[in-house]
Amino acid sequence: QKEVEQNSGPLSVPEGAIASLNCTYSDRGSQSFFWYRQYSGKSPELIMSIYSNGDKEDGRFTAQLNKASQYVSLLIRDSQPSDSATYLCAFQGAQKLVFGQGTRLTINP
Amino acid sequence: GAVVSQHPSWVICKSGTSVKIECRSLDFQATTMFWYRQFPKQSLMLMATSNEGSKATYEQGVEKDKFLINHASLTLSTLTVTSAHPEDSSFYICSARVTGGPYGYTFGSGTRLTVV
């Protein structure tokens, strides 16, 4: 079993709709979770970090964490074409970040 | 804040030569630097973890004699790809953990290495 599972996509969402990205992880001891966005040919940039169960909102982005279900998600409201990218979820493992394979998101105008 | 500056952003080299990639933390001290490699349409693969003043820890399957990592100061870590071959062509990214803030891990801008 992979440590972090993400649907690789591609996920296609119409402009203005809500994009929902999901991630499950295997390490029950994990406390810190991150969502990164990576444009083609660029390095990842941090979108959200979440440490507690529940929702955390930042602008159009909402991260959701459920430690009991070992599940973390990212919602993007009012999706824009500029949101088209690969989204990587990650958790803090022992001394390093553990990444999922990434979900490729395309927002269609 | 929490910026990691990575250079060069791209490099083309001949097979058999060596290439050095630098990562500098500009406004914080990076006691630990992580080096990743990413092939097209794949996720980041951790190559090694370097700690200031000590030897790097390499992930399984990564040749430590080929990918030399030096972390001599709290603000500079380097990765040297020795005797590069076309199969080493990839996107190399460094990252540092930033403590005491919301940044988590911050990434350099990446280096696109092409070996011809």
**Interchain pair A43, B49: CB under 8 A:** no
Question: In the predicted model, is pLDDT for residue A76 greater than 90?
Answer: yes
Question: In the predicted model, is pLDDT for residue B102 greater than 80?
Answer: no
- For chain A, count helices (H), then strands (E): 0, 11
**Interchain pair B43, A95: CB under 8 A:** no
The reply to whether A34 touches chain B by the CB within 8 Å rule is: yes
CA distances from B74 to A28, B70, B99 (A): 32, 11, 14
Nearest chain B alpha carbon to A6 = B43
AA identity, residue A63: A
Rounded to a whole number, what is the distance in Å from the CA of A58 to chain B's nearest CA? 13
Given this model, what pLDDT does residue B98 score?
Answer: 78
| Omega within 30 of 0 (cis) for the link into B8 | yes
Nearest chain A alpha carbon to B33 = A96
**Which A residues, 69 through 98, put their C-beta within 8 Å of a C-beta on chain B?**
88, 90, 95-97
* Per-residue pLDDT band at A93 (split at 50, 70, 90): confident
B28-79 pLDDT, tens digit each: 888 899 999 999 888 899 999 998 888 899 999 999 999 999 998 889 999 9
Rounded to a whole number, what is the distance in Å from the CA of A48 to chain B's nearest CA? 9
Q: Please, how many CA atoms are within 13 Å of residue B60, restricted to the half-sphere of its CB?
A: 0
Q: Where are the beta strands (DSSP E) in chain B?
A: 4-7, 10-13, 19-25, 32-38, 45-51, 57-58, 67-73, 76-81, 90-97, 105-107, 111-115
Residues 6+ apart with CB under 8 A from A8: A101, A102, A103, A104
Rounded to whole angstroms, how far apart are CA atoms B34 and A96? 8
- Burial category of B96 from C-beta neighbours within 10 Å (exposed 0-12, middle 13-18, buried 19 and up): buried
Question: In the predicted model, is pLDDT for residue B94 greater than 90?
Answer: yes
Tell me the percentage of chain A whose pLDDT exceeds 70: 98
More confident residue, B40 or B99: B40
Given this model, what pLDDT does residue B27 score?
Answer: 86
Given this model, what pLDDT does residue B97 score?
Answer: 83
Given this model, what pLDDT does residue B53 score?
Answer: 83
Taking all residues of chain B, what is their mean pLDDT, rounded to a whole number? 92
3-state secondary structure of A24: strand
Find the helix or strand (DSSP H, E) in which A61 lies: strand A61-66
Residue among A49, A95, A96 minimizing CB distance to B104: A49
| Contacts A–B by Cβ distance under 8 A | 42
Question: In the predicted model, is pLDDT for residue A86 greater than 70?
Answer: yes
Rounded to a whole number, what is the distance in Å from the CA of A14 to chain B's nearest CA? 23
Question: In the predicted model, is pLDDT for residue B100 greater than 70?
Answer: no
Chain B residues in contact with A100 by the CB 8 A cut-off are 43
Rounded to whole angstroms, how far apart are CA atoms A37 and B86? 28
* Per-residue pLDDT band at A60 (split at 50, 70, 90): very high
The region of weakest confidence among A91-100, B37-46, B81-90 is A91-100
Residues 6+ apart with CB under 8 A from B107: A43, A44, A45, B4, B93, B94, B95
